[in-house]
Amino acid sequence: KMVMLGWVNNLGGAIFGLLMGAITLGAILAIIVKYFGPSMLSESLISAILLDKFPLILGFLPSEFDSIRSFFN
């Protein structure tokens, strides 16, 4: 019998896409804040959430990404 798991594949892809999008936006926002200051994003709710969680995500990166970690610290 064939198992119909297409919905699981779609759900997994959606979750993965949202997670990768949040990581990418967090990195972009962190760079913007680093160079232009936090006043540019002070009124944005989403940017506050992403910037608060971005250092946590950096902790999961392997040691090859130490230069990226030092850039954001």
Residue spans per domain, the chain: 6-72
CA angle 45, 49, 50 (to 5 degrees): 115
Helix (H) or strand (E) holding 65: none
Q: Using the predicted structure, report yes or no on whether residue 41 has a pLDDT greater than 70.
A: no
Mean pLDDT on 39-56? 71
CA distance 55 to 34: 13
- Residue 64, judged by CB atoms within 10 A of its CB (0-12, 13-18, 19+), counts as exposed
* Helix, strand, coil percent content, the chain, rounded in steps of 5: 80, 0, 20
Q: Report pTM.
A: 0.55
pLDDT of residue 15: 93
